[in-house]
Structure 1
Amino acid sequence: MLKLASEQVPFGVYALEKDGMAELRKDDCKSKGRLKELIRAYRLQGFKVHQNGV
């Protein structure tokens, strides 16, 4: 399932994982800075972040 989601988001966050549950996302980013900002924010909330680009 995560592999399929990964193919849908070429540069951005495609899934978050926490407590054995995964939430599929489609957070497209236009810059590396924005992607890093999103990753940091999600990690501070305790999520494992699945992303393409960094």
Structure 2
Amino acid sequence: MVVTIGKKVWAVNQERYKSLLALGSEQVPFGVYAIEKDGQAEMRFDHCKSITQLKRLIRQFKAAGYKVYANGR
């Protein structure tokens, strides 16, 4: 699994990736914290102010073919 955080890129195993997802989930209580596609993941810290904004953001990523990890749904 290749993970991008900011401008840095790492190759990590599945166990480490799951721990990064857990950490991201803690940091973003209401918003998108990661997206994944084709063995590549990007850690994001998109905080949303409303459920409508969150749903719109999730739809945009899903339309582009990403699996979306978010809190607050």
- Give the whole-Å Cα distance in 2 for the aligned partners of 1:45 and 1:38: 11
What TM-score do you get using the length of structure 1 for normalisation?
Answer: 0.97
Q: Which residue of structure 2 lines up, in the alignment, with residue 48 of structure 1?
A: 67
1:5 counterpart = 2:24: yes
Question: Once superposed, what is the RMSD of the aligned Cα atoms?
Answer: 0.4
Structure 1 gap ranges (5+): none
| Runs of 4+ in structure 1 over 3 Å off | none
- Give the whole-Å Cα distance in 2 for the aligned partners of 1:5 and 1:36: 18
**Greater RCO, CA 8 A, separation 6+:** 1
What is the percentage of aligned positions where both structures have the same residue? 61
The higher radius of gyration belongs to 2
Structure 1 residue 21 displacement after superposition:
1.2
- Give the whole-Å Cα distance in 2 for the aligned partners of 1:21 and 1:4: 18
Structure 1 residue 20 displacement after superposition:
1.2
What TM-score do you get using the length of structure 2 for normalisation?
Answer: 0.73
**How many residues align structurally?**
54
Q: Which residue of structure 1 lines up, in the alignment, with residue 6 of structure 2?
A: none
